[in-house]
Amino acid sequence: MSSDASPSQQPAVLCADFSIESLAWEKQDGLLPAIVQDASTLRVLMLGYMDRAALQATLDSGRVTFFSRSKRRLWMKGESSGHVLQLVSMRTDCDRDTLLVQARPHGPTCHLGRASCFAEAPGSFLAELDALIAERERERPAGSYTTGLFDDGVRGIAQKVGEEGVEVALAAVAQDDAALAGEAADLLFHLQVLLRARGLSLEDAVAVLRARHKPL
């Protein structure tokens, strides 16, 4: 699923502090494999290779650029299709011979029109749902249940979340596991809509949990 914003609207690029020359270029004839993940869903999107120039171009432009081994030149992902990968962060592995790139895709990454070059690559469904909810808020398609929720405003959505919370509690004490899971799913969905109606996202709530987390 593509990002909500255009490349020009993305936040500042955040990259790990490493020196390009400190990477283990000698291991693979001046090339490093670069694994690209969707920054929102963490789905693996593709694998490419970078040389020094491609890595520098990626850092300078904020758009993921590779060295094409077949064309023998730099190749910016999406240079023909427009389906660019907007850089969010970059890290190296422990041996400094592989790059992990997190990016926001603008359109499908795979040339077959799929989100990922790995057809069954796992990702966060809640993050995908959050992106869909954001799309519904922007476009307000007629007949959409989510559109109706947004039309009700924050108060209406908040009331719905309260109702769903009560139904979860009742299911927990009086119904079977399937009913509880179903009510919990309803609550999660409506909570995501409420967050979006207030200009927030599920990731904002997750960030709070992450900040509170203290490893045992």
Supply the range of the domain harboring residue 200: 125-212
Residue tagged 């009086």 (tokens): 174
Summarised one tens digit per residue, pLDDT across range 182-201 is 999 999 999 999 999 999 99
Question: Tens of pLDDT along 60-73?
Answer: 999 999 999 999 99
40 band by pLDDT with thresholds 50, 70 and 90: confident
Separation CA 88–CA 112 (nearest Å): 24
Residue 116 domain flag = no
For the segment 6-33, the average pLDDT, to the nearest whole number, is 74
Residue 115 has a CB neighbour count (10 Å cut-off) of 20
Answer yes or no: pTM beyond 0.85: no
Domain with residue 144: its CATH number is 1.10.287.1080
Q: How far is C-alpha 184 from the geometric centre of its chain's CA atoms?
A: 23
pLDDT-derived band at 46 (thresholds 50, 70, 90) equals very high
Residues 74 and 161 in one domain: no
CA separation for the pair 63, 79 (Å, rounded) = 10
pLDDT band at 19 (very low <50, low <70, confident <90, very high): confident
pLDDT at 113 over 60: yes
- What local confidence, expressed as pLDDT, does residue 13 receive? 57
Last residue of a domain, one of 41, 76, 105: 105
Q: Both 101 and 13 in a single domain?
A: yes
Residue 113 in domain? no
The structure tokens listed for 7 are: 């490349």
In a domain, 61, yes or no: yes
> Are 141 and 99 part of one and the same domain?
no
Rounded to whole angstroms, the Cα distance separating 38 from 203 reads 14
Is residue 92 located within the same domain as residue 131?
Answer: no
pLDDT-derived band of residue 14, with 50, 70 and 90 as boundaries? low
Whether 91 has a pLDDT exceeding 90, the answer reads yes
CATH code, 89: 3.10.20.810
Which of 105, 137, 154 delimits the end of a domain? 105
Residues 155 and 65 in one domain: no
- The answer to whether residue 49 is domain-embedded is yes
Q: What's the whole-number average pLDDT of the chain? A: 91
- Between CA 172 and CA 166 the distance in angstroms is 10
One domain for residues 20 and 97: yes
Total structural domains within the chain: 2
Asked, for residue 68, whether it belongs to a domain, the answer is yes
- Whether 62 maps to a domain, the answer reads yes
- Predicted confidence at residue 16, as pLDDT, reads 64
139 and 97 both lie in a single domain = no
Q: Is 115 within the bounds of a domain? A: no
What pLDDT, on a 0 to 100 scale, did the predictor assign at position 55?
95
